[in-house]
Structure 1
Amino acid sequence: MTAARQAPVRVGVFGLLGSGNLGNDGSLEAVLGHLRAAHPDAVVDALCGGPEVVTARYGIPATRLHWYRGEYRTASRAGAIAGKGLGKLVDVFRTAAWVRRHDVVIVPGMGVLEATLPLRPWGFPYALFLLCASGRLSGVRVGLVGVGAAPIVNRPTRALVRWSARLATYRSYRDAQSRDAMRAMGVDTARDGVCPDLAFALPTPAGPTASAPAGPPRGTVCVGVMDFHGGNDDRARAGEIHRRYLDGTTRFVRALVEDGRPVRLLTGDAVDASVVSAIREAVDSPLVTAARADSLADLMKEMAAADAVVATRYHNLVCALKVGVPTLALSYAAKSDALMAERGLGAYCHPAREVDADRLLAQFRGLEQHAAELRRTLAEHNRVAAGRLEDQFTALTTALFPAADHTHVLREAP
């Protein structure tokens, strides 16, 4: 006599998760929320940058992304160089073995198909290629879900990113320009969708932004900072870019304080703490405080209590727009400009590479003059985004979770 039952689908999540970047972790949180709602019996684990953090925070087993622990440290000694080289070979087999244990692997959001920040081809681009190639060879579906992409000049990085995208089973992008960038790199995107950033699927904290304030706001301004040194193509002048960014942002914060405005400094990655310290030391005012944020939810709570936000990191912008606060972007990449334009704030972008404190202050004052109108605009955009994300998750389920393919029949002994 035999009996059959359906085994749970095995889902892997992959990326630089738990490594200190709140935006990456927010994308993971959004996907886990969807899996727990739509596939409550799924068995989920991660291959990621910070496995201990992911397990502690999200309650799923996790494995370290790279065999060599010093993967993202500069290797100058012979032993470190040899360790990195050996790690590349070991990771071929580690990644393939991990992928084969799953029915589906999801890369949740993140800018995995771009190089807008300094990036070496044999770091994460190589790891992503191993993932997608392993999925194709073993028949495991790999989905790049709501990811960011941008044109890439470096040839090895561009080749690895292009082949990763081609080998994936499913692709969707967080904006139209990401899809256009992949099409320009030779990827057939005819069936690829565009949806809002996955972080817009996170719960919105309750706060004073539910209704517009009467008259010009005079409360706290949240300023999201970044340890910014330019992008992948700016390495030769990274120091100069950083000095200009820090000087301009500091002068802007000082001008707000001189106007009597409380300023709350926010970060989006652990590496940004040095910028917070530098600004607080330079301005030296009790009106300048800093918040510790361990998640996008923490950032949103801070921003929901503010009258306006000025931010650099992409997911700081996402959080501010999500809670409906008038927002000005210190833009370091085209993705920030696209996000702001889509939300009706295209006029409120300022280049992070050339921060002009006087012009930034003028833009900020214009932002506050239109605060009530912008809050209404953002509320409508957020309503539309929620519907589009529901469609995204429905499409994801259809593409990656066809029931007939993840049914495993277990037979009892006679």
Structure 2
Amino acid sequence: MTSGDGTPVRVGVFGLLGSGNLGNDGSLEAVLGYLRAAHPEAVVDALCGGPEVVTARYRIPATRLHWYRGEYRTASRAGTVAAKGLGKLVDAVRTAAWVRRHDVVIVPGMGVLEATLPLRPWGFPYALFLLCASGRLFGTRVALVSVGAAAIGNRPTRALVRWSARLAAYRSYRDAPSRDAMRAMGVDTSRDEVYPDLAFSLPTLPTLPAGGPGSPSVPPGPPGPVCVGVMAFHGGDDDRARAGEIHRRYLDGTIRFVRALAEEGRPVRLLTGDEVDGPVVAAILDAVDSPLVTAAETASLADLMKEMAAADTVVAVRYHNLICALKVGTPTLALSYAAKSDALMAQMGLAAYCHPAREVDADRLLEQFRSLERRSAELRRTLTERNLTAARRVGDQFTALTSALFPAADHTHTHTHDLREAP
């Protein structure tokens, strides 16, 4: 695939990639798989949070997203504040120069248009605005692909997110509530589409057939392992005043739930989705002194799927932990902290199995867990069907992306998707 002058098309990928969040890296992996299959001649590089990790793992050149390496640490001293301020100016120049070198920039998935977790406007929202504004200035097509969005209360953050979306050449969302949220924030979404999360295009490990554990047609054996995905959860951006209380309630409820499973003789595997989740695992292991409770080491969504495919049931908080469990067909209960989790569970036929992460009630959680396990065989069949639909829709997303961003290469596709005309 070449540009009009015969040179290979230059494609950039952008985001907090390689920074320890397995979900973000899974979205990158999905887009790189698409590019290598559909546009193998494209020259690809990244502007990202962890360039060393991205280069080593995905074999593409990568540049650090922020000039100031302490961007996401709290600044208290005058020198640190000054360095951060200088970094904003330097980043504007660096981002513009990077964007100008590309024909297309893709922001792969991720919740880049939301603040469901604590977020400062001058951090990633500012970086995303620089990207989209630079794209508009230099004629580089910037695509926000199957991204997450949510209503934002903080005015500066909301303004940066709104203008980033308006300036992007292409937008699609990973669920309908995301598109609704952007419409409510003043973005014209009449030509924006909804597709499943990009992770649904990743390879899936072999899973148990629909007549597996819990099926009436198979003699029941001893209860199998339960995967419990944990998170350093402190509420969202609007919960900063209650962050400590929210975290204590979430952790106490999770500890009680894990302890109850261990006392029933159930093996429990603790899983994370980000490097910051480690202290939560340590706290649970310290509080529940049982050889049945162990922690898994996972470095990718493939690692998570391997663990979850071997489990009878999964209980998880992080969005991409939920996706991994659902994708391998394991009955799943969501500790939900945002509308995106509820929408995902409804999409996959498990809307009844959501529990609020802010108000974890261990007794109620155990009731839902037991109900989920009683319906295990039925839900495995449902997940098999829903996964086929999700994979097909992500294929539609990639076809649409080719039509929108690489029109010169799109001679055979019939599914078209026009570029958005930003206000």
Matches within 5 A, 1:295-374: 295-374=300-379
Contact 2:30 2:198 (8 Å CA) reproduced: yes
Deviation digits for residues 74-95 of structure 1, max 9, x if unmatched?
0000000000000001111100
Q: What secondary structure, in the 3-state scheme, does the structure 1 residue paired with 2:233 have?
A: coil
Partner amino acid for 1:122? W
Distance 1:281 1:38 in 2: 48
Pairing 1:151–2:151 present: yes
Deviation digits for residues 167-193 of structure 1, max 9, x if unmatched?
000000000110000001110111111
Deviation digits for residues 10-52 of structure 1, max 9, x if unmatched?
0000000000000000000000000000000110000000000
Contact 1:207 1:301 (8 Å CA) reproduced: no
Distance 2:212 2:116 in 1: 35
Corresponding residue for residue 6 of structure 1? 6
Pairing 1:99–2:104 present: no
Deviation digits for residues 127-186 of structure 1, max 9, x if unmatched?
000000000000000000000000000000000000000000000000011000000111
Distance 1:403 1:101 in 2: 19
Higher relative contact order at CA 8 Å, sep ≥6: structure 1 or structure 2? 1
Contact 1:264 1:288 (8 Å CA) reproduced: yes
Corresponding residue for residue 198 of structure 1? 198
The Cα shift of 1:397 comes to 0.4
Distance 2:8 2:304 in 1: 35
Q: What secondary structure, in the 3-state scheme, does the structure 2 residue paired with 1:391 have?
A: helix
Matches within 5 A, 1:270-281: 270-281=275-286
Distance 1:47 1:87 in 2: 15
Corresponding residue for residue 118 of structure 1? 118
Distance 2:210 2:379 in 1: 13
Distance 1:231 1:303 in 2: 27
The root-mean-square deviation of aligned C-alpha atoms, in Å, is: 1.3
Pairing 1:379–2:371 present: no
Deviation digits for residues 237-261 of structure 1, max 9, x if unmatched?
1000000000000000000001110
- Could you say if the C-alpha distance between residues 131 and 209 of structure 1 is closer, same or farther in structure 2, counting changes exceeding 3 Å? farther
Contact 2:210 2:381 (8 Å CA) reproduced: no
Uncovered stretches (5+) of structure 1, i.e. residues with no partner: 406-414
Contact 1:226 1:313 (8 Å CA) reproduced: yes
The Cα shift of 1:6 comes to 2.2
The Cα shift of 1:208 comes to 2.9
Corresponding residue for residue 37 of structure 1? 37
Q: What secondary structure, in the 3-state scheme, does the structure 2 residue paired with 1:143 have?
A: strand
Q: What secondary structure, in the 3-state scheme, does the structure 2 residue paired with 1:172 have?
A: strand
Contact 2:200 2:391 (8 Å CA) reproduced: yes
Corresponding residue for residue 127 of structure 2? 127
Q: What secondary structure, in the 3-state scheme, does the structure 1 residue paired with 2:308 have?
A: helix
Deviation digits for residues 219-271 of structure 1, max 9, x if unmatched?
00000000000000000010000000000000000000011100000000000
Pairing 1:234–2:269 present: no
The Cα shift of 1:404 comes to 7.6
* TM-score (norm: length of structure 2): 0.93
- Could you say if the C-alpha distance between residues 5 and 181 of structure 1 is closer, same or farther in structure 2, counting changes exceeding 3 Å? closer
Q: What secondary structure, in the 3-state scheme, does the structure 1 residue paired with 2:333 have?
A: strand
- Could you say if the C-alpha distance between residues 370 and 210 of structure 1 is closer, same or farther in structure 2, counting changes exceeding 3 Å? closer
The Cα shift of 1:212 comes to 2.6
Contact 2:207 2:329 (8 Å CA) reproduced: no
Distance 1:363 1:76 in 2: 45
The Cα shift of 1:210 comes to 6.0
* TM-score (norm: length of structure 1): 0.95
Corresponding residue for residue 136 of structure 1? 136
Contact 1:209 1:323 (8 Å CA) reproduced: no
Partner amino acid for 2:356? P
The Cα shift of 1:206 comes to 1.4
Contact 1:209 1:305 (8 Å CA) reproduced: no
Contact 1:245 1:355 (8 Å CA) reproduced: yes
Distance 2:383 2:24 in 1: 23
Distance 1:147 1:311 in 2: 21
Distance 1:123 1:116 in 2: 15
Contact 1:343 1:381 (8 Å CA) reproduced: yes
Q: Percent identity?
A: 83
Distance 1:247 1:357 in 2: 9
Corresponding residue for residue 108 of structure 2? 108
Contact 2:210 2:377 (8 Å CA) reproduced: no
Partner amino acid for 1:109? G
Distance 1:63 1:20 in 2: 16
Q: What secondary structure, in the 3-state scheme, does the structure 2 residue paired with 1:149 have?
A: coil
Contact 1:47 1:65 (8 Å CA) reproduced: yes
Contact 2:305 2:325 (8 Å CA) reproduced: yes
Q: What secondary structure, in the 3-state scheme, does the structure 2 residue paired with 1:208 have?
A: coil
Matches within 5 A, 1:45-60: 45-60=45-60
Q: What secondary structure, in the 3-state scheme, does the structure 1 residue paired with 2:152 have?
A: coil
Aligned pairs, number: 402
Uncovered stretches (5+) of structure 2, i.e. residues with no partner: 411-423
Corresponding residue for residue 28 of structure 1? 28
Q: What secondary structure, in the 3-state scheme, does the structure 2 residue paired with 1:329 have?
A: strand
Contact 2:135 2:168 (8 Å CA) reproduced: yes
Distance 1:294 1:210 in 2: 28
Contact 1:19 1:50 (8 Å CA) reproduced: yes
Deviation digits for residues 370-390 of structure 1, max 9, x if unmatched?
001100111100011111111
